A and B are shown apart, each in its own frame.
Chain A
Amino acid sequence: MSPFEAEALWLSLKVAAASLVGVIPVSLGLALLLARGRFPGKWLVEALVNLPLVLPPVVTGLALLIVFGVRGPVGSWLHDVFGVTLAFHWTGAALAAGVMALPLVVRPLRLSLEAVDRRLEEAAATLGAPPLQVLTRVTLPLAAPGLVAGAVLGFARAFGEFGATVTFAGSIPGETQTLPVAIYTVLQRADGEQAALRLALLSVLVSVGALVIAEWINRRALSRRGA
């Protein structure tokens, strides 16, 4: 692996991992809200969560630039108060990847939360468990397969994210030039095809690896449950 390839691979892993760290708690909250909540405007929350699925990624990136850019309402506040700049930084690439991954993490998590047998939660309550403990000791463990599925889909989506990342974070080698962005960049060169293929192979390996790990975790969970 050349230093250029290693750098792009490492950066992609870092960006995808960081985006998941942020996305999973947010998805958990949203999935619970959508699976269990009854409130006016629920459809609006649902539509907003799924928006990145239907919008062209470039448009999502542009929206991020408008809101989180240095002159954007949130971006300028982050810059002034915390000294944090997201646009054209690797953290911005993670934000873009996270926003794109969000609907893919929320959906399976929500479905598996909806499938959790509420009668088991009742049983937990009669044994003395307060609501929050019912959530962490019964509901979430039973919904774990959905969390794993969501995390893998989300990781794959974040790892492969291109459009929103390029628009919001650019293509800065070592900072925001993730594998997909690097593939696009080397393809711009006349002799870049070979290099692009090598990068593409790396990206396929990582994605397949993530799938295999997820399958292994799921099988282990199922066999532990005796199913």
Chain B
Amino acid sequence: MSVSFWVRARRGDFALDAAFEASGKAIALVGPSGAGKTTLLQGLAGLIPAEEVRLTVDDRTLVDTAMGLAPPPHQRGLGYVFQDGRLFPHLSVGGNVAFGTRWAANPMTVAEALKLVDLEGFAHRRPTSLSGGEMRRVAIARALLPRPRLLLLDEPFAGLDDGRRQALIPYLVKLRDTVKTPMIVVSHDDRDVAALAETVLMLDRGRSV
């Protein structure tokens, strides 16, 4: 698989202008904090106004603003696992995971998605009753259910202690090996992604390195 992307965006004084090409299903995007990693993901997903965005997965162009291909966030077909989880507090775990069902062409079932992250039997639980690591996994299952063309994971290890961090890595490895969706994993620490990524890309001060 190959993924190429380019985002040019401004956030106040910060300028992001980074283009990457990578092959493999698990692509890590590493850089110090403030390098623009989250801004880049937000630009790809259409969550911030960007000057120019281009995104190609295999030979399919999903976004190309210069060519007028700039679908709104809900039509980009990208899965986004946010750093802060963002589970819906008014829905159960099952309700969270099922959220994308009605707009997806070929969604997984909730059971299938929960099985991918080893949380079978959690569907009836409330998000507030979960540990930090479980919340991350629910967020991943929720993002995978619509079968996105590309999964974006923003610092999936942030805020987890070493034990939980180590515990999360095998799940991501399993996803890499079992799910067709390619993923871009953003991290400020390349040790976190060493076991996972086939390709490591570096971003620093808004530029590809």
Contact = CB atoms under 8 A, between A and B. Distances in A.
Interface of A: 117, 119-120, 122-131, 133, 137-138, 141-142, 144, 224-227
Contacts of B104: 128
B126 A226 contact: yes
Given A131-B74, A225-B128, 4 more contacts: A126-B73, A126-B143, A137-B99, A142-B90
Contacts of B32: none
Contacts of A133: 103
Interface residues of B, number: 28
A127 B86 contact: no
B149 interface: no
B79 A126 contact: yes
Contacts of B74: 125-131
Nearest to B98: A127
B171 interface: no
20 contacts: A119-B82, A122-B73, A122-B82, A123-B80, A123-B86, A124-B99, A125-B47, A125-B72, A126-B45, A126-B80, A127-B100, A127-B103, A127-B143, A128-B103, A128-B104, A137-B99, A144-B90, A225-B90, A226-B126, A226-B129
Nearest to A142: B90
B78 interface: yes
Contacts of A128: 74-75, 100, 102-104, 146
B84 A119 contact: yes
Contacts of B142: 127
Interface of A: prevailing SS: helix
A192 B92 CA distance: 56
A121 to B, nearest CB: 10
Contact of A125 (B73, B79, B102, B127): B73
A64 B88 CA distance: 43
Contacts, number: 72
B89 interface: yes
A117 to B, nearest CB: 8
Interface centre among B45, B84, B89, B126 (most CB of A within 10 A): B89
Interface of B: 45, 47, 72-76, 78-80, 82, 84, 86, 88-90, 99-100, 102-104, 126-129, 142-143, 146
A144 B88 CA distance: 14
A145 to B, nearest CB: 11
A142 B88 CA distance: 9
B141 to A, nearest CB: 12
A120 B128 contact: no
Nearest to B104: A128
The 8 closest A-B pairs by CB, nearest first: A128-B103, A226-B126, A226-B128, A127-B100, A126-B80, A123-B86, A125-B73, A141-B90
Interface centre among A119, A120, A131, A226 (most CB of B within 10 A): A226
B191 to A, nearest CB: 28
Contacts of A122: 47, 73, 82, 86
A121 B40 CA distance: 19
A123 B42 CA distance: 11
Nearest to A127: B100
Contacts of B143: 126-127
Contacts of A125: 47, 72-74
A129 B99 contact: yes
A226 B127 contact: yes
